[in-house]
């Protein structure tokens, strides 16, 4: 494993085209997202016009091949986009993340040619996707899901409820996991593609959240919702494999989101401590403040190397599960600690909603929870190290 890490680490330095891409996405975020971030947070709603601009920019279809209307980029490009957008607003960052690292990746890897022809051009143009695994009694124990799919003619009737589904309000297509054979346990789990508007499917309660409030998190309801067999993603009974392998990639995306958040908090802090004066000079000239800033900057840079390394490993086609768990765990810890220190260094101003780091602090908490809790990541890391 050390040789693999070393080989990928040599590639963590960005190529010129990657620098241009990352910077152009950040420039877009700074110009188009920043003015909307506070209002979207207060109203807990993503701007439809902003979503349209994201599609026009091409960041909602990064890995979709050009033949389907996408950008034809790499997974690493997706990670750079999520990082750059999250530096301004992690709510928009998770919209871009789920679209690219979960839904599009799953369609590219597991979809039939028919599925790709049907959905990828739509996702390159204006369609948003959602990944629907979690349920009330199925969180970290993901395969304890109770949503059922019963064979009916040339299709399956899905019945059950999904909770905490990102993009629930905006999505046009949903990758839904249901069990067609509960007696077989997780080997009965199958992944289906459900279109919005399918009879028997509806979006339920929208959650009122602590952070990433502009990102919709919803309950999904399936009541005898019939989908054709051609809408199965992967093969019957292999949905657990679709879920596991897709989430391994998605965790790198969350790492990128938390990296961007931490970098954003650091950006605000550097600017503030240069301007804020106490005892006759900028507080950034006090050694105690400088030491705190140095710790923040170091933690952010370590996070960046972990995230980039994991993404490079994935693109190189070598095992990356351990590194993905590491970057997801560590980035979420750093995002919270850096955002917290940013509030401290902003003083009383950091505690009011007018200050942007207040929002980033609230946004950071989810990083330790979704797409695998911190404890689940630690368990994965330990088991892989021990060879268990």
Tell me which residues are annotated as active site: 371
Give the helix ranges, DSSP H, for the chain.
2-9, 16-28, 34-43, 48-57, 75-86, 90-97, 105-110, 113-125, 239-275, 287-316, 321-346, 356-364, 374-386
- Give the burial string for 99-111 (b: 16+ CB within 10 Å, else e): bbbbbbbbbbebb
Residue 209 neighbours by CB distance under 10 Å: 18
Longest dimension (CA), the chain: 79
What are the distances in angstroms from CA 184 to CA 143, 153, 315, 329? Answer: 12, 22, 34, 32
Question: Which residue reads 């006090």 in tokens?
Answer: 286
When computed from its CA atoms, the radius of gyration of the chain, rounded to whole angstroms, is 21
DSSP 139-153: SSSGGG---EEEEET
Which residue is it, tokens 């690219």? 100
* Helix 90-97, helix 356-364: angle, nearest 10: 40
Give the DSSP per-residue string, 189-247: EEEEEEETT-TTEEEEEEP--SS-TTS-EEEEEEEEEEEEGGGEES-TT-HHHHHHHHH
In the block, tokens 């948003």 appear at: 128
The tally of CA atoms less than 13 A away on the side-chain side of residue 229 is 10
């Amino acid at each position: 494993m050390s040789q693999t890490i070393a080989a990928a680490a040599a590639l963590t330095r960005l190529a010129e085209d990657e620098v241009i891409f990352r910077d152009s996405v950040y420039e877009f975020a700074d110009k188009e997202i920043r003015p909307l971030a506070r209002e979207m947070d207060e109203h807990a709603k993503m701007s439809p016009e902003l979503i349209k601009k994201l599609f026009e920019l091409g960041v909602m279809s990064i890995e979709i091949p050009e033949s389907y209307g996408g950008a034809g980029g790499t997974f690493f490009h997706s990670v750079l986009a999520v990082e750059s957008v999250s530096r301004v607003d992690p709510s928009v960052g998770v919209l871009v993340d789920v679209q690219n690292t979960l839904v599009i990746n799953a369609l590219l890897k597991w979809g039939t040619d028919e599925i790709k022809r049907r959905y990828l051009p739509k996702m390159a143009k204006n369609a948003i996707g959602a990944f629907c695994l979690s349920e009330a009694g199925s969180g970290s124990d993901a395969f304890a899901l109770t949503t059922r799919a019963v064979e009916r003619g040339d299709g399956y009737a899905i019945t059950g409820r999904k909770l905490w589904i990102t993009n629930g309000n905006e999505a046009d297509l949903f990758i839904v996991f249901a069990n067609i054979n509960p007696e077989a346990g997780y080997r009965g789990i199958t992944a289906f593609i459900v279109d919005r508007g399918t009879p028997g499917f509806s979006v339920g309660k929208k959650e009122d959240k602590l952070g990433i409030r502009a990102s919709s998190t919803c309950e999904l309801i399936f009541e005898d919702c019939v989908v054709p067999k051609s809408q199965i993603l992967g093969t019957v009974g292999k949905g657990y494999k679709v879920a596991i392998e897709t989430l391994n990639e998605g965790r790198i995306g969350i790492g990128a989101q938390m990296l961007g958040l931490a970098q954003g908090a650091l950006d605000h802090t550097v600017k503030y401590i240069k301007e804020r004066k106490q005892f006759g000079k900028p507080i950034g000239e006090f050694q105690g403040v400088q030491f705190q800033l140095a710790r923040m900057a170091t933690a952010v840079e370590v996070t960046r190397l972990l995230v980039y390394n994991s993404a490079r490993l994935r693109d190189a086609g070598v095992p990356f599960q351990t590194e993905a768990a590491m970057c997801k765990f560590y980035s979420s810890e750093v995002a919270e600690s850096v955002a917290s220190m940013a509030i401290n260094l902003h003083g009383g101003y950091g505690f009011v909603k007018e200050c942007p780091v207040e929002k980033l602090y609230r946004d950071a908490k989810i990083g330790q929870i979704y797409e695998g809790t911190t404890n689940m990541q630690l368990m994965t890391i330990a088991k892989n190290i021990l060879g268990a």
